[in-house]
Amino acid sequence: MAHQWDAYCGEAFERLCREALPLLYEKEGMSGRSQIGEYWDREVQIDVVGLRADEWIDLGECRASLDETANQADEVRNAVVIMRRLTR
């Protein structure tokens, strides 16, 4: 049961982060359209992807706990490489 609760909380937190991104954009004064979602494949999972009208791409890793921070930097680096390939 605890594992299911952790998974549920993790998914809910990821959703909350995606929903908060437009508010952060607004606070920064970013105008124009944006697309917000997530990306995953066999190599990497990116919890939050923001494709902005000013051609910036925001990538976010969401963690409801700090237990798994060791692999986050490698995942983000891999995600950046993959996103560069996808946007070319």
Which comes out higher in pLDDT, residue 74 or 70? Answer: 74
Give 40-69 as a DSSP string. Answer: E-SS-EEEEEEEETTS-EEEE---SSSTTG
Is residue 39 within 8 Å of 46, Cβ to Cβ? Answer: yes
Q: What is the pLDDT of residue 38?
A: 93
| Backbone φ, ψ for residue 46 (5° rounding) | -115, 120
How does pLDDT run across 8-43, given as a tens digit for each residue? 777 888 898 899 888 888 888 888 888 999 998 898
pLDDT at 49: 93
* 21 vs 36: CA distance, rounded Å: 8
Task: Give mean pLDDT, residues 65-78.
Answer: 58
